[in-house]
Amino acid sequence: MRIILKNSSDLPLYQQIKEQIKTAILNGELKAGQQLPSIRALANDLHVSVLTTKRVYTDLEAEGFILSRVGKGSFVAPENLELYLESKRRMVEKQLTEVCRLARQLGIKPEELHTMLDLLMEEENDES
């Protein structure tokens, strides 16, 4: 799993970490049942506070992505297709919201946007 923290990013550190762990779980890089590093180890490696990593794990657990067992550590939760699908959708939605905002700002019409999206998707398909 790669976690890259950006000093210039506007997102708080804990959110950057959380998003990247979530991405790793969603794209299957982290498998169900796999053990996550301890909050202290993760904090030391990322040079962030143990309070930050603790918050990340607490949030991920509340959202159903990981499970914590007292004295054992934290593990990736069993695959929950519905949850994953929902999260994936939300991640794309978030980016799209940004795109919509920019388009509106620059005066690009919805139809134009749809065309752009179709074109881009086609290009992606050709490449892969």
Partner 1 sequence: MTSILEVNNLTKTYDQFSLDRLSFSLQKGCITGFIGVNGAGKTTTIKSILGLINPEAGSIRFDGMEMNRQEKQIKNRIGFVLDEGYFYGMLTVKEMKNVIAPAYSSWDEQTFSNWIGRFGLNPNQKIASLSTGMRMKFAVALALSHHADLLIMDEPTSGLDPMMRSELMAILLDFMKEEGKSVFFSTHITSDLDKVADMLILIDGGKILLNEEKDTLLDNHARIKGDSRWINERTRPLFLTLRETPYGFEGLTHQKEALRQEMPDAVFERPTIEDIMLAYVGGAEIAH
Sites of contact with partner 1 (CB under 8 A) = 7-8, 10, 12-14, 40-41, 43-44, 47-52, 54
| Least distance in angstroms from the C-beta of 79 to partner 1 | 31
| Least distance in angstroms from the C-beta of 28 to partner 1 | 29
- 59 vs 83 by CB, closer to partner 1: 59
**How far apart (Å, rounded) are the C-alpha atoms in residues 28 and 25?**
5
Largest CA distance in the chain: 56
| Least distance in angstroms from the C-beta of 103 to partner 1 | 17
- CA dist 120 → 18, 95, 104 (Å): 28, 15, 19
Residue 31 in tokens? 């498998």
